[in-house]
A and B are shown apart, each in its own frame.
Chain A
Amino acid sequence: MSSALTEVRRPAEAPAPKQVVRGKKPPGLKKARTFYLFVAPWIIGFVTLTVFPLGYAFWLSLTDSDGLSPRTHFVGFDNYMEIFRDPLTLSSLGKTGLFALVTVPLSILAGLLLAVMLNQPIRGRGLLRGLIYLPAVVPPVGAALTFRLIFDRDAGAANGILSGLGGSPITWLVDPNVRYVLYALVLWGCGGAMIISLAGLQDIPRELLEAAQVDGASYWQTFTRITVPLLSPVILFQVITGVIGSLQSFAPLLLSSGSLSGAGAVPQGNYMYMIHVFAQYFSASRFGYASAMLWLLFAVILLVTLVIIKVSARTVFYTVEPEGKK
């Protein structure tokens, strides 16, 4: 007979393993198989269309491949070293950085301004929103070609208007004016930024704005102390995607200026990094070097994005923190 004091507690028994019935698959394995079956198309696509091309492009960047010749030589990191000796590569990278520096803030500010205006209860704002957003849905190729026609020196509408006003025609599509045409093209498409900012504005709790009004805050104070901080995650998103997009700009540069015959005819003002990459690939047939240039661009974009995220940690206000704390 054992008392409670002397009772030896036996460790809790581990649950008996579930018996696998012969011929029946364990439910976990079945679930895993189903999962992998469903995600297989994505995995196959990711491996064949992303991982493999990236690996191949990296391999190419270590060769002197011209894309045609079966004679391809391994050159190690020579292509990467050449990037830093090639003045055209460095100058085109500088121009691209400047382009991003000008166009990203400009288009975000323009979008924000339009969003604030069209967030007011004005008559016909739906129509106005639609009209301003319209250019953003025009394919970039169409937009670029349209701008090319508008700013043509002899037959373009811009010079037609100038002449009508008694002014002299301007050669818009060559240096140095060509970059202003490009900035205009970017600003023309700021309806996209407007829509994103508008969505952000409409997500701001009305109580906060009303409370500020009750407290006697001016419109400017409300805008800078409440609206902008609450919009800061949206602005950060626009900055990051805008910078990435600007650094990769290609079709508008190629099509809106110069000759349609290829990258070589793009004026110097618009001769940016991706144009140079294109010229190296398809005019010069330097597949190895151009691939190395793209890997460099990837590194630059990654670095810039990390810097933006790091810097934004102090300025971006999240209503919900990643840990879930308010």
Chain B
Amino acid sequence: MTTTNPGLSRRRFLALGGAVAGSAAGGALAVGCSPASSTNTPVATGTGSAAKGAVTVMSQAGEFGPKEAKAASQALGLTVKTVEYDLTKLTAMLASGNPPDVVRGMGATETPYLVARQVAENLDPYFEKSSLIKADDIDPVNDVWRYDGQKQGSGPRYGFAKDYSQDCTLWYNGALFDAAKVTRPSATTPLLLDELLDEGKRLVKRQGAKVSVYGLNPNGLGLFGQLTWMTDLAGGKLTADDLASVDFSSPEAQRALTWYLEYAKAGIGPTVLNPDPNGWDGPTFQAGRMAATLSGYWLGGLFAGDAKSAKVAGFAPAPQFDTGRRVSPCFGATGLWMPKAGKNKDAAWAVMEWFLAGDPAKARAAGGWGIPPLKSLQKLMPQKLPYQKQAYDVQMAEKEHFSVTSYTPYARQDAINAVITRELPKAIKGAMPVGQFADTLNDQINAQLADGKKRLR
């Protein structure tokens, strides 16, 4: 049996049901109370001034919370409500046919997944008529929100970044470099990954067997992304052209795996075997306990209010292998998208447009937490403090090396990362040689992708 219409009986049944809990595991599926709208034809309204009604935005409180909702309501004459972003809740709302009108998402990794499941709305008609977002002003990074069914980076736009980073660019603590007598990274010439690893080994500080200062954290936003990038740098491809399989056995992928395993075995930074208790690099860097991290431009926003970090922080281009290939990817491009089953799309677009290109976008640009998605706003990026000016110059030059990486629509990145994380400890401990590690990853991830593909039939 196949159901293809959101308005069929299951969803109507759900809608009548009130609330659903899938399981004691927290697989709870609380549902709303009205069936999906059948009016899914977009009617673009330019600035959204003609839009009326209520709009529900699902985002994080620090990004689009009640404060932003109030400002949006005042600016647009709409009723804007917020719901805290939660995948469980989003799933339940989508399943009930009563989704939020606007949802936070990570364009780089989520777009193909959402589009393949027919969940996200094609926003091209809205962009065409927008008065705030002009085609020639859109930064190329927003192409991660495009998917043509086969390749990411082309086809319709399904969302738009609120800000972004090229996530393999390097933040370093200059004072720690100086103390270890390691030359600070160049602002123009990217380090070689092998040099960076050697430097990390010199920069790490230990008290007995305890690591008091991490020499390097190359984990980024997830290992699959990092390994995809490094394989690309080595001149290969981790994911097949049809996005339905991965190959960790190629020489290029093996080079990436070997590099990471050498890093992990050296014990110079956080790994699955020695996770950073802070959970992310910000507090560790601010505490002077991290010499270098591949974290992307956005981390610099943290230092603006922290004079100590601002004094020592430096920014450098994304490193590369000795192949001469230079790639500086984006694994996030966090932004907003609109569910296909949303009921008030014109009003939802008005809110999106205001938030992504209106006054909030200008304020964000000046905050330094990420690069604005519109070229015209990028001149507002902070350049007052020395570290800000240096990071701005490096970042502007780095833009040239951006290209869209296609992610698979057949599995969530979390699921792929979970496989890598599960098998990694054996490889780090030496219980599994790199070739066997690659084969294991191929077997498990490809099985997962095949299952995902089957479910999309």
* Interface residue B4 (Cβ < 8 Å from any Cβ of A): yes
Per the 8 Å Cβ criterion, residues 401-421 of B in contact with A are 411-412, 414-415, 417-419, 421
Number of B residues, CB within 8 Å of A? 59
* Interface residue B179 (Cβ < 8 Å from any Cβ of A): no
Contact with A along B101-144 (1 / 0, CB 8 A): 00000000000001011110000000000000000000000000
**Is B208 in contact with A277, judged by CB distance below 8 angstroms?**
no
**Is B411 in contact with A174, judged by CB distance below 8 angstroms?**
no
Q: A264-B417, A283-B418 are in contact. Are A291 and B27 (CB under 8 A)?
A: yes
**Is B277 in contact with A155, judged by CB distance below 8 angstroms?**
yes
- Which residues of the other chain, A, contact B454 by a CB distance below 8 angstroms? 64
17 further A-B contacts with Cβ under 8 Å, apart from A154-B210, A287-B27, are A52-B17, A52-B20, A53-B20, A66-B117, A69-B116, A70-B3, A70-B117, A71-B455, A71-B457, A153-B211, A169-B210, A248-B24, A264-B417, A279-B418, A281-B22, A287-B22, A294-B23
**Is B456 in contact with A69, judged by CB distance below 8 angstroms?**
yes
Q: A153-B210, A169-B210 are in contact. Are A271 and B19 (CB under 8 A)?
A: no
Shortest B364–chain A CB gap in Å is 25
Q: A69-B117, A262-B414, A264-B422 are in contact. Are A291 and B87 (CB under 8 A)?
A: no
Contact with B along A156-184 (1 / 0, CB 8 A): 10010001000011010111000000000
Shortest A274–chain B CB gap in Å is 5
**Is B456 in contact with A290, judged by CB distance below 8 angstroms?**
no
Q: A53-B21, A250-B26, A291-B27 are in contact. Are A173 and B275 (CB under 8 A)?
A: yes
Closest to B277 in A: A152
**Is B88 in contact with A282, judged by CB distance below 8 angstroms?**
yes
- Which residues of the other chain, A, contact B22 by a CB distance below 8 angstroms? 53, 56-57, 60, 281, 287, 290-291, 294
Shortest B262–chain A CB gap in Å is 19
Q: A149-B277, A283-B414 are in contact. Are A73 and B25 (CB under 8 A)?
A: no
* Interface residue B34 (Cβ < 8 Å from any Cβ of A): no
Closest to B27 in A: A281
| CA gap between A291 and B20 in the complex, in Å | 13
- Which residues of the other chain, A, contact B21 by a CB distance below 8 angstroms? 49, 53, 57
**Is B448 in contact with A284, judged by CB distance below 8 angstroms?**
yes
- Which residues of the other chain, A, contact B417 by a CB distance below 8 angstroms? 264
**Is B27 in contact with A290, judged by CB distance below 8 angstroms?**
yes
**Is A67 in contact with B95, judged by CB distance below 8 angstroms?**
yes
Give the one of B91, B277, B448 with max A CB within 10 A: B277
- Sort A-B residue pairs by CB-CB distance and give the 6 closest, nearest first: A264-B418, A69-B117, A74-B1, A283-B414, A67-B91, A284-B415
| CA gap between A271 and B421 in the complex, in Å | 12
Contact with A along B73-98 (1 / 0, CB 8 A): 00000000000000110010011000
| CA gap between A148 and B276 in the complex, in Å | 11
Shortest A284–chain B CB gap in Å is 4
Shortest A85–chain B CB gap in Å is 11
**Is B272 in contact with A258, judged by CB distance below 8 angstroms?**
yes
Number of A residues, CB within 8 Å of B? 60
| CA gap between A52 and B448 in the complex, in Å | 31
* Interface residue B279 (Cβ < 8 Å from any Cβ of A): yes
- Which residues of the other chain, A, contact B3 by a CB distance below 8 angstroms? 70-72
* Interface residue A263 (Cβ < 8 Å from any Cβ of B): yes
- Which residues of the other chain, A, contact B1 by a CB distance below 8 angstroms? 73-74
**Is A278 in contact with B26, judged by CB distance below 8 angstroms?**
yes
**Is B25 in contact with A294, judged by CB distance below 8 angstroms?**
yes
Which residue from A52, A53, A64, A281 sits with its C-beta under 8 Å from B25?
Answer: A281
Q: A53-B20, A148-B277 are in contact. Are A68 and B119 (CB under 8 A)?
A: yes
Shortest A283–chain B CB gap in Å is 4
* Interface residue A267 (Cβ < 8 Å from any Cβ of B): yes
**Is A264 in contact with B94, judged by CB distance below 8 angstroms?**
no
Which residue from B6, B119, B412 sits with its C-beta under 8 Å from A284?
Answer: B412
**Is A259 in contact with B455, judged by CB distance below 8 angstroms?**
no
- Which residues of the other chain, B, contact A291 by a CB distance below 8 angstroms? 22-23, 27
Which residue from B24, B212, B425 sits with its C-beta under 8 Å from A154?
Answer: B212
Per the 8 Å Cβ criterion, residues 228-287 of A in contact with B are 248, 250, 258-265, 267-268, 271, 274, 277-279, 281-287
**Is B275 in contact with A70, judged by CB distance below 8 angstroms?**
no
Shortest A255–chain B CB gap in Å is 11
- Which residues of the other chain, B, contact A67 by a CB distance below 8 angstroms? 91, 94-95
| CA gap between A52 and B18 in the complex, in Å | 10
A-B contact pairs, 14 of them (CB 8 A): A66-B117, A67-B95, A69-B118, A70-B117, A148-B277, A153-B210, A248-B24, A264-B421, A267-B272, A278-B25, A279-B415, A281-B27, A290-B27, A291-B23
* Interface residue A48 (Cβ < 8 Å from any Cβ of B): yes
Shortest A130–chain B CB gap in Å is 30
